[in-house]
């Protein structure tokens, strides 16, 4: 008998806190996102020609939300009692031919997810076609999105970060309000504050909730007789053993600078365990990264890895997808990363995806071992679109069980969806089950960006400098505090 899990997110305290903060705050900056330069050429798709080149911000490990929170341990839990989502609805559908332009990210996972949604939607609505354009991630992608919104040249629909990056787009002024659309009822409450400003909802979830921690090759662990670490000391001991045997313990891919940030960002679960009020104090300028021992650890980890020679020989130039293949092939043991990457591994190395496991970044106390998680990206409609109703109808499909099923049929989920009643299949990837175990046991918390609007734009460059030995950890943390201070002043946050 086939069994599936229905995923429910029970994070009401977090949702309330986010909603309160977002009504008073305008936004922040960046989370780990792949960087590139020019968007690719637009590709037309039709129901009979599902050949569009697509991508999505699923690679944008981030979705974040500005809010203070005294409850950073709010967790995501699975349950079978949550009512299921309704069918796709919203907007006005007609049989008149329409072509929707869609802007999305440019990673492998996002391409497959977007294509799955577009193909399934066109099969139901043969009068609808899509012109799909991919954009770079990182700062280049952020600037492209902001420029198009400012010049009125944004596509009919675009997939982009939720949370603090969305807030920086001033959605109240630039995006279509979806608050009263019937499909909003399909969305888990925990996600809605990440796409809300001034009480209005502007987006639907695209992609899945993600774990942020360490991917590892299970065959490598078995070969060298090591087990999943529950403390940083155990992680260090594993790495020493691996290095002594000639196996690079930790993969770094600084050829794509956004990937450098995970030791810092994924450590937030441990920061929150040490100081439950950290997010609120950080947002109010009562504590600094450089002066807080727990918050400093992430920068110290980057420095330690460099000094101890944990990283592979060519870490400074290795690109993101090159690194994923190295991990799948067992050329390296571990990769600090977000779980959206599992879909990329499944696509590029399907015979090896079951060799990949996941564990949260270890802290000091084994009894509190857990994981940081990220909310999905979002789908949005600019006010300048000439096809708003058709765009709403498509987003209604994205935010439905039918939409999530269409994606799951083509792309193995990298975590739970933020849609009520969504299914985690019984053949979910092993690493996804690892992430679900943290969620189910209450040992997870959303990333800092979901509790604070503060995320300095230069973090990835600072992390590269620290991780490559160009800058001490203490200097890196201090520079990041200065980066954040400038941002806080631009946002007009009290206390700065």
Collapse the DSSP code of 178 into the 3-class scheme (helix H, G, I; strand E, B; otherwise coil) and give the result. coil
Q: Kindly state whether residues 26 and 143 are assigned to the same domain.
A: yes
Is 496 a domain residue? no
Chain length of the chain: 496
- pLDDT bin (cut points 50, 70, 90) of residue 101 is very high
Q: Give yes or no for a contact between 230 and 6, defined as CB atoms under 8 angstroms apart.
A: no
Cα–Cα dist 220/332, whole Å: 8
Domain shared by 77 and 178, yes or no: yes
Q: What is the pLDDT of residue 29?
A: 35
Q: Is the pLDDT of residue 88 over 90?
A: no
Same domain, 86 and 215: no
Sign of CA dihedral 26, 27, 28, 30: negative
Judged by DSSP in three states, 5 sits in: strand
- What value does the mean pLDDT of the chain take? 84
User: For position 167, what pLDDT does the model report?
Assistant: 81
3-state helix, strand, coil in the chain (%, to 5): 40, 15, 45
Q: Judge if 356 and 382 occupy the same domain.
A: no
Number of domains in the chain: 2
Average pLDDT over residues 53-61: 36
Task: Looking at the structure, tell me whether residues 44 and 110 fall in a common domain.
Answer: yes
Asked whether residue 446 is domain-assigned, the answer is no
pLDDT bin (cut points 50, 70, 90) of residue 188 is: confident
Check pLDDT > 80 for residue 260.
yes
For the range 14-17, what are the long-range contacts, defined as Cβ-Cβ under 8 Å and sequence gap of 24 or more? 14/69, 14/71, 14/74, 14/190, 14/193, 14/446, 14/450, 15/189, 15/190, 15/192, 15/193, 17/67, 17/68, 17/69, 17/70, 17/71, 17/193, 17/451
The confidence score (pLDDT) of residue 120 equals 98
Is 447 a member of any domain? no
Distances 259 to 15, 56, 463 between C-alpha atoms, Å: 28, 17, 9
**What average pLDDT does this structure show over 157-165?**
90
H or E stretch at 261: none
Residue 458 has pLDDT above 90, yes or no: yes
Q: Is the pLDDT reported for residue 1 higher than 50?
A: no
Residues 367 and 389 reside in one and the same domain: no
419-456 residue pLDDT tens? 998 878 888 999 999 998 898 788 988 899 888 888 88
Q: Which two tokens stand for residue 33?
A: 């996102």
pLDDT tens-digit readout, 326-380: 999 999 999 999 998 998 899 899 999 999 999 999 999 999 999 999 989 999 9
Compute the average pLDDT of residues 75-90. Answer: 43
Residue 14 reports pLDDT greater than 60: no
**Same structural domain, 248 and 388:** no
Q: Is residue 346 in some structural domain?
A: yes
Domain carrying residue 282: 210-372+452-491
CATH code for the domain of 40: 3.40.190.10
Task: Average the pLDDT over 121-129 and give the result.
Answer: 98
pLDDT at 15 over 70: no
Residue 54 has pLDDT above 90, yes or no: no
Residue partners of 164: CB distance under 8 A and separation at least 6? 27, 28, 29, 31, 64, 65, 66, 449, 453, 455
Structure-model confidence comparison of residues 5 and 203, the more confident one:
203
Pair (229, 189) in one structural domain: no
pLDDT over 90, % of the chain: 66
Say if residue 246 is in the same domain as residue 232. yes
Residue the block writes with tokens 């001034």 = 198
When comparing pLDDT for 280 and 7, which is higher? 280
The single-letter DSSP state of residue 366 is G
* Res. 189: pLDDT tops 60: yes
Element spanning 373, H or E: strand 371-374
Residue 318 lies in a domain: yes
Whether 102 and 123 share a structural domain:
yes
pLDDT at 3: 36
Residue carrying structure tokens 């429910």? 8
Same domain, 239 and 181: no
| pLDDT at residue 82 is higher than 90 | no
Residue 258 within a domain: yes
| Structure confidence at residue 12 as a pLDDT band (50, 70, 90) | very low
310 pLDDT above the threshold of 60: yes
Would you state the pLDDT for residue 40?
53
- The dihedral of CA 142, 144, 147, 149: what is its sign? negative
Return the DSSP state at 198: T
Residue 304, in any domain of the structure: yes
pLDDT of residue 281: 97
Residue 480 pLDDT > 60: yes
Question: Does 226 share its domain with 366?
Answer: yes
pLDDT of 48 reads 37
Is 347 a domain residue? Answer: yes
């Amino acid at each position: 008998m086939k069994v599936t899990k229905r995923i429910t997110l029970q994070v009401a305290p977090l949702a309330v806190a986010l909603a309160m903060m977002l009504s008073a705050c305008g936004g922040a900056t960046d989370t780990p996102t792949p960087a590139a330069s020019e968007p690719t050429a637009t590709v037309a798709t039709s129901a009979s020609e599902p050949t569009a080149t697509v991508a999505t911000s699923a690679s944008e490990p981030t979705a974040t939300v500005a809010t203070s929170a005294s409850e950073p341990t709010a967790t995501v839990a699975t349950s079978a009692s949550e009512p299921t989502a309704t069918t796709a609805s919203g907007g006005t559908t007609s049989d008149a031919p329409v072509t929707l332009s869609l802007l999305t990210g440019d990673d492998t996972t996002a391409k497959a997810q977007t294509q799955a949604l577009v193909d399934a939607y066109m099969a139901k609505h043969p009068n609808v076609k899509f012109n799909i354009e991919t954009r770079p991630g990182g700062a280049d992608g952020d600037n492209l999105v902001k420029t198009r919104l400012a010049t009125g040249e944004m596509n009919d629909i675009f997939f982009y970060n939720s949370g603090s990056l969305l807030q920086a787009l001033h959605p109240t002024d630039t995006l279509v309000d979806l608050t009263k659309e019937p499909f909003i009822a399909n969305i888990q409450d925990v996600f809605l504050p990440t796409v809300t400003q001034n009480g209005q909802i502007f987006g639907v979830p695209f992609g899945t909730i993600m774990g942020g921690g360490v991917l590892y090759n299970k065959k490598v662990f078995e070969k060298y007789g090591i087990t999943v670490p529950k403390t940083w000391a155990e992680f260090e001991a594993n790495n020493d053993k691996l290095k002594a045997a000639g196996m690079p313990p930790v993969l770094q891919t600084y050829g794509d600078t956004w990937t450098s940030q995970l030791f810092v960002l994924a450590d937030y679960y441990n920061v929150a365990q040490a100081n439950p009020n950290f997010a609120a104090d950080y947002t109010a300028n009562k504590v600094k990264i450089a002066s807080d021992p727990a918050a400093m650890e992430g920068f110290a980890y980057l420095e330690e890895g460099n000094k101890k020679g944990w990283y592979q020989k060519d870490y400074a130039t290795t690109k993101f997808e090159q690194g994923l293949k190295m991990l799948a092939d067992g050329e390296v043991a571990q990769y600090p990363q977000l779980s959206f990457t599992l879909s990329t591994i499944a696509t590029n190395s399907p015979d090896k995806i079951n060799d990949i496991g996941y564990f949260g970044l270890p802290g000091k106390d084994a009894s509190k071992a857990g994981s940081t998680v990220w909310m999905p990206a979002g789908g949005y409609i600019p006010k300048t679109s000439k096809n708003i109703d058709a765009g709403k109808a498509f987003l209604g499909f994205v935010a439905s069980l039918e939409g999530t099923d269409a994606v799951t049929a083509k792309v193995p989920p990298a975590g739970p969806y933020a849609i009520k009643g969504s299914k985690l299949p019984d053949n979910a990837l092993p690493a996804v089950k690892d992430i679900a175990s943290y969620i189910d046991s209450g040992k997870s918390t959303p990333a800092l960006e979901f509790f604070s609007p503060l995320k300095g734009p230069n973090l990835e460059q600072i992390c590269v400098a620290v991780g490559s030995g160009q800058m001490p950890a203490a200097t890196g943390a201090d520079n990041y505090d200065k980066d954040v201070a400038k941002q806080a002043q631009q946002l007009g946050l009290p206390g700065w």
